[in-house]
Structure 1
Amino acid sequence: MSPVSMDSNRILRRAGLLLSFFLLAVSIGIPLLLIFWQSVTPNQRLDWMAPLRTITGQSLSGVLLNSVWLGICVVAGTTLLAMPLAWMMAKTRMGLHRWIDVILLIPFMTPPYIGSMGWILFMQKGGYLQQWLPGAGALSDSFFSFWGMVFIMSMHLFPFLYLLLRDALIRIGGNLEEAGAVHGAKAGYRFRRIIMPLLLSAYGMGVMLVFVKAIAEFGTPATFGRKIGYYVMTSEIHKYISSWPIDFGKATSLASVLLSVCLVIWYMQSAVSRRFTYRLVGGKGQRSKTYSLRGGAGWLAGLYLAALLLLSIGIPYFSIIAASLMKLRGAGLSLDNLTLDHYRELLSWGSVSLKAIGNSLGLSLAAASVAVVLGAGLALAIGRSGARLQRIIDLLSLLPNTVPGIVMVVGLILLWNAPWMPFTLYNTYGMVVLTYVVLFLPYTVQYVKSSFSQINGLLFQAAQVSGAGPFYILRRILLPLIMPGILAGWMMTFTISVRELVGSLLILPPSMQTSATYIFAQFEQGQVSLGMAMAVVSVGLTVLLLLGIELLNSRRKWTGS
């Protein structure tokens, strides 16, 4: 390659990095800085203690403690659920059943507020459980408590921790355990002194994700939490922004404190990862030690998996489907009380509900397409280098995944309502797409980065030596190799955008509804059956679309095109 070409490539790469930094700074960095600035200048005067004074002076310190305590308890609950399952799927023959991993993604695809409503309908007085077991009233009373809320959120979030722990256990070869056994170490000692230290890095990342998602969750506190009188930061922030009189001062104070808590957790997780990260994959290869589950141990593992699937998927979806088919909720479960009228009303041409479904699909398709283009560009700009600017871009691209979504939405509202902006996107279709893109950009970046990191740089060098130009290399080598990551990022962004609630509630134009806000509105108005019918249709359409994309992708791989 000539020196002129090398210089031009270097200039283009530098320009790409600067453009990436500018886009992330404007869309992510500035909104978060505006939250901090708004919270410390309540009366146009700088006051660094204003957020703490707002919380203590407005009796909101209890709400902050509620959020933190909820996050800690959900982390403990997900650990108890995910750790045994990860060990069974990584270290026993149960891991050969790959369909289990697919089934365990269903709780992730289920919007939290829908799962919460499913449990409420099942466990409430006169609910489905008491219709089957009239003597279960005491169990229902004890369920509607803080620990019931922890249980519901743990059932929704444990797949995040499970997948991280399972992959980490698979990377731990059997050689280390065998070496410990040769030196006389018992199974418990080997797990405590060998396996656990090697798991700490992955566990720390999983704990951070679960904690942030728990304290950032809005749907479950808004449904189940309100029913038991347990209020958290997200519900209070939403109240100050959406209810009259609107108070952005209190909302930004709460948001800045919530953001600070998440950043502290992120720093602690980074410190743990730096201290307990080990290189487990080398050039010699390794084999994983597999344990056999025979007799009572095998039955116990099977019962544990069956109970987990029943509680995380079976009961919520039974309640959702049953509620969507009922004529009268008070008439109970019986064949003569079932109807499809709610689905007919939902899908009638020109109805508000059908427009909401169209809005959801349109917004999610647009957001996923924009996010995958930006995410692929950012992932390629970050590359494999450890330069300072690339590390900053990498950090900014991951930031929306480490801060509560409602905090990010408040920052975007402040930015696009600022008087110094040349134009405003607030109350427009574009604002909704931009919010979805910013919230879910980290997924696309990480998926494409993962695919790009597996490509040997010698491929590009060979193409350059053979006379291929940059655009030919991009079209014929790079894009085909990173296409699986691009497709996975698109599917993840689309799936989460369809069920996004808190951002949609805050930034949708007054005349627009999505399927998520429509469901939430039906719950608020007591039209539970109609809301559940919308939930079934929304989840069903999402699954069918994703299966269609996966089928097309499989056919493309099979034909080699």
Structure 2
Amino acid sequence: MRSGFKESPGIFRNIGIILALFLLIVGIVVPLLMIFWQSISTEQGLDLLGPIRTIAGHELSGVLMHTIWLGVCVVAGTTLLALPLAWIMSKTRLGQHRWIDVVLMIPFMTPPYIGSMGWILFMQRGGYLQQWLPGSVAVSDAFFGFGGMALIMCLHLFPFLYLLLRDAIIRIGGNLEEAGAVHGASSSYRFRKIMLPLLLSSYGMGAMLIFVKTIAEFGTPATFGRRIGYYVMTSEIHKYISSWPIDFGKATSLASVLMSVCLVMWYMQSVMSRRFTYRLVGGKGQRSKRYALRGFAGVAAIAYLALLLVFSVGIPYFSIIAASLMKLRGAGLAWDNLTLEHYQELLSWGSVSLKALWNSLGLSLAASTIAVVLGSGFALVIGKSQRRTQRFVDLFSLLPNTVPGIVMVVGLVLFWNSPWLPVTLYNTYGIVVLTYVVLFLPYTVQYVKSNFTQIDGALFQAAQVFGGNPWLIARRILLPLIIPGMLAGWIMTFTISVRELVGSLLILPPSMQTSATYIFAQFEQGQASLGMAMAVVSVGMTVILLLIVEALKTNRKWNAS
């Protein structure tokens, strides 16, 4: 019987697919095609092999391999960090402390270049570590290499994979594990044969997005990577766009190659998702088994969580806060060298910095709300991706994560500033919100799709048998089950939009600043203390907003289990 709500190929689903394709083609595909056109257009005509010749002819193949190797290492590192943490927070009583989830989101809310600067200030010669431990010179020197760069990016990105794996483990529940235990399976055997196969779909999705995010990252390579001489594709693209002589054709050629790599990763993830996706949410209630923390296992779990918090939040934010309080950076850590003057200047009424902060919050709230509405609709249209049109919607919704943000933004500027358009958004607040929505739409789509594909169609069939119309089924069954994914997507979009730098630098109207561009400008002008103070204030306000959202989730009992 195929007449369920999810599988119904009625007119509403067809209209939804057509509308989704139209919005994605206009908002994403056409700007990217304009970028591709620039990469193959030459004075002599079209050169379809131009991007490959650019890589081979300018000795950039090594940079491409550096980029891919960095992505592989960061995926491996985030897996080692996120998988044990997801098990601890979903299977032990530590998961009842919701504030831990908010704290664990702080690294992802922090602008990558700010986190990198925090680590640089802490580990450099004469830095905070050596001021405490003068004999740590060897540790500091060893940190400034590829391993240190990969570690910084892992500590920045692991919360994303952690949230996906934690929610997937919660949806699995404890019934399957208990059944395995009844039949004599050991805990390690149950983990390998029950948990891991059921986690592969969510893990493949998270690993693919982390890989793409890593190779498209600009902030960490621009700060830490430049210091150690490790160059990746994004830093080369930025060099060709921002440094004279500007070579936009070469930059877009590099972006085309980078997009091809990411599309291959997307295809591998989609194959894994179709093969290892299981229906885990049905009509029966599920009880998630939680283990007591006793003895060595309890000490190890708490120690792991504490060390992770120290390295991901404690060290970088100690450096950030210390730098924001210093009168003179050269005077070092001393009580008489601390001051609150930077915060007073930052939050003074009518100041440029306060206006920049409010601009960031307003633009991010608008973008995250629009993105969660559009992303949820796209995820429902995609469904199980059985039809070719659904797979096109899935592919187009992921495209913003397959190219560097700076290239996507340039494509949007080219398109929305075209003279043949009847209405242009360029140089308005609308282009800023549109840019944030386009760049971060994939997060909502993937979160909601992850929840939606694991809902058993029998729930919708049962509702139809008892006379439920499609609107009632959507409101009483579908919406409550996908709300956790919608909230996760909204939070992710908001936190990233607040600290978005590259897009803001290129599309903000004149005389308008956001917190990210203000921080960047302060570093360029040598006012690092003001920039660090803005970082502390903006992240602090974001954490408060997340605490409010978590409180609402707890009160309404919006939980996928």
Tell me the TM-score range normalised by the shorter chain. Answer: 0.7 to 0.9
Matched residue, 1:36:
36
Displacement of 1:370 in angstroms is: 3.5
1:292-329: CA deviations, max 9, x gaps? Answer: 55322322222111111111111111111111111011
Q: In the alignment, is the contact (CA less than 8 A) between 2:255 and 2:403 conserved in 1?
A: no
Unpaired segments of 5 or more residues in structure 1?
1-9
1:130-180: CA deviations, max 9, x gaps? Answer: 111111111111111111011111011111222222333344455655666
Amino acid at match of 1:531: G
Q: 1:182 to 1:13 in 2, by over 3 A?
A: closer
Q: In the alignment, is the contact (CA less than 8 A) between 1:259 and 1:407 conserved in 2?
A: no
1:98-118: CA deviations, max 9, x gaps? Answer: 433232122222222211111
Q: Does 1:116 align with 2:116?
A: yes
Q: After the TM superposition, which residues 182-331 of structure 1 pair with which residues of structure 2 at under 5 Å, given as runs?
A: 187-281=187-281, 291-331=291-331
Q: 1:245 to 1:509 in 2, by over 3 A?
A: farther
Amino acid at match of 1:360: S
Matched residue, 1:151:
151
Q: Distance in 2 between matches of 1:237 and 1:20?
A: 31
Q: 1:55 to 1:544 in 2, by over 3 A?
A: same
Q: Does 1:406 align with 2:393?
A: no
Q: 1:369 to 1:80 in 2, by over 3 A?
A: closer
Unpaired segments of 5 or more residues in structure 2?
1-9
Q: Does 1:54 align with 2:54?
A: yes
Q: 1:44 to 1:37 in 2, by over 3 A?
A: farther
Matched residue, 1:357:
357
Q: In the alignment, is the contact (CA less than 8 A) between 1:401 and 1:442 conserved in 2?
A: yes
Matched residue, 2:4:
none
RMSD (Å) for aligned C-alpha atoms: 3.6
Amino acid at match of 1:439: L
Displacement of 1:521 in angstroms is: 2.2
Q: After the TM superposition, which residues 60-79 of structure 1 pair with which residues of structure 2 at under 5 Å, given as runs?
A: 60-79=60-79
Q: 1:195 to 1:23 in 2, by over 3 A?
A: closer
Q: In the alignment, is the contact (CA less than 8 A) between 2:463 and 2:473 conserved in 1?
A: no
Q: In the alignment, is the contact (CA less than 8 A) between 1:92 and 1:292 conserved in 2?
A: yes
Q: 1:120 to 1:495 in 2, by over 3 A?
A: same
1:207-250: CA deviations, max 9, x gaps? Answer: 11111111111111111111111111112222222233322101
Q: In the alignment, is the contact (CA less than 8 A) between 1:263 and 1:403 conserved in 2?
A: no
Residue identity over aligned pairs, in percent, reads 76
Q: 1:17 to 1:85 in 2, by over 3 A?
A: closer
Q: In the alignment, is the contact (CA less than 8 A) between 1:368 and 1:437 conserved in 2?
A: yes
Segment drifting more, 473-482 vs 495-504: 473-482
Amino acid at match of 1:39: S
Aligned residues: 546
Q: In the alignment, is the contact (CA less than 8 A) between 1:252 and 1:410 conserved in 2?
A: no
Segment drifting more, 83-92 vs 247-256: 83-92
Amino acid at match of 1:506: L
Displacement of 1:522 in angstroms is: 1.8
Q: In the alignment, is the contact (CA less than 8 A) between 1:463 and 1:473 conserved in 2?
A: no
SS at match of 1:273: helix
Q: Distance in 1 between matches of 2:65 and 2:441?
A: 30
Matched residue, 1:167:
167
Matched residue, 2:525:
525
Matched residue, 1:107:
107
Q: In the alignment, is the contact (CA less than 8 A) between 2:106 and 2:539 conserved in 1?
A: no
Q: 1:167 to 1:351 in 2, by over 3 A?
A: closer
Q: After the TM superposition, which residues 535-550 of structure 1 pair with which residues of structure 2 at under 5 Å, given as runs?
A: 535-548=535-548
Q: 1:56 to 1:448 in 2, by over 3 A?
A: closer
Displacement of 1:532 in angstroms is: 0.2
Q: 1:44 to 1:91 in 2, by over 3 A?
A: farther
Q: Distance in 2 between matches of 1:142 and 1:488?
A: 37
Displacement of 1:68 in angstroms is: 0.8
Matched residue, 2:392:
392
Q: In the alignment, is the contact (CA less than 8 A) between 2:102 and 2:546 conserved in 1?
A: no
Displacement of 1:274 in angstroms is: 2.7
Q: 1:384 to 1:124 in 2, by over 3 A?
A: closer
Segment drifting more, 172-181 vs 54-63: 172-181
Amino acid at match of 1:111: P
Q: 1:482 to 1:309 in 2, by over 3 A?
A: closer
Matched residue, 2:5:
none
Q: Does 1:80 align with 2:80?
A: yes
Q: Distance in 2 between matches of 1:141 and 1:439?
A: 36
Matched residue, 1:437:
437
Amino acid at match of 1:223: T
Q: In the alignment, is the contact (CA less than 8 A) between 1:70 and 1:215 conserved in 2?
A: yes
Segment drifting more, 58-67 vs 395-404: 395-404
Amino acid at match of 2:521: A
Q: What's the TM-score once normalised by structure 2's chain length?
A: 0.85
Q: Distance in 2 between matches of 1:22 and 1:195?
A: 39
SS at match of 1:339: coil
1:476-516: CA deviations, max 9, x gaps? Answer: 99989987766665444332211111211232345332110
Q: Distance in 1 between matches of 2:484 and 2:290?
A: 30
Q: Distance in 1 between matches of 2:62 and 2:349?
A: 48
Matched residue, 2:340:
340
Q: Distance in 2 between matches of 1:266 and 1:475?
A: 32
Q: Distance in 2 between matches of 1:418 and 1:56?
A: 33
Q: 1:40 to 1:420 in 2, by over 3 A?
A: same
Q: Distance in 1 between matches of 2:189 and 2:17?
A: 48
Q: 1:497 to 1:286 in 2, by over 3 A?
A: closer
Q: Distance in 2 between matches of 1:548 and 1:420?
A: 45
